């Protein structure tokens, strides 16, 4: 299975979960998430993919320039529509390509640096970033006493390691 397919599967996993959540839970600020919402975390995940799609057409990806589209974090139907569009975008990728990553890691200046990267490297990053945020979302869902798959938000290497330990 390719990196692209793993990203698509993760987005489909997100869509499946979002469709099961009551909209009040999706938009409710959670103390355990420092008053952010589950929807905000899903928006954050999806906007990294949106930045990657936009960057592919310009040759430059900048995650700092996310739209922070409030509809993604407040409207489940809209969010699932975005997932469908992103899945379509990913399914059309045929090969790797060089990109520049623009980023500002300073809290005190506006200076952005440029780092050479590639589409596949950024897809790997997007997948890892997604899993990390799913782990945070899992904390909020568990806090609500909702049952979540034990592997939800867990890195593939950790899942493989756990299997070896059980044997």
At 108-162, the pLDDT tens digits run: 999 999 999 999 999 999 999 999 999 999 999 999 988 888 888 988 888 888 8
Rounded Cα–Cα distance for residues 74 and 55 (Å) = 25
Domain ranges of the chain: 3-166
* Reported pTM: 0.93
Nearest CA to 80 among 25, 23, 18?
18
Domain 3-166 falls under CATH 3.40.50.300: no
């Amino acid at each position: 299975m390719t990196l692209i397919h793993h990203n698509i599967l993760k987005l489909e996993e997100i869509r499946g979960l979002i469709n099961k959540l009551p909209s009040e839970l999706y938009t409710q600020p959670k103390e355990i998430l420092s008053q952010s919402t589950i929807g905000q975390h899903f928006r954050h995940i999806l906007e990294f993919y949106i930045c990657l799609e936009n960057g592919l057409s310009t040759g430059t990806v900048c995650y700092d320039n996310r739209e922070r589209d409030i509809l993604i974090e407040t409207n489940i139907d809209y969010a699932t529509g975005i997932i469908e569009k992103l899945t379509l975008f990913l399914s059309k990728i045929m090969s790797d390509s060089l990109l520049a990553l623009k980023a500002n890691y300073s809290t005190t200046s506006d200076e952005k640096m440029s780092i050479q990267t590639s589409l596949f490297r950024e897809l790997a990053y997007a997948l890892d970033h997604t899993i990390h945020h799913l782990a945070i979302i899992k904390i909020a869902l568990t806090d609500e006493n909702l049952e979540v798959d034990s592997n939800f938000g867990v890195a593939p290497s950790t899942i493989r390691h756990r299997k070896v330990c059980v044997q």
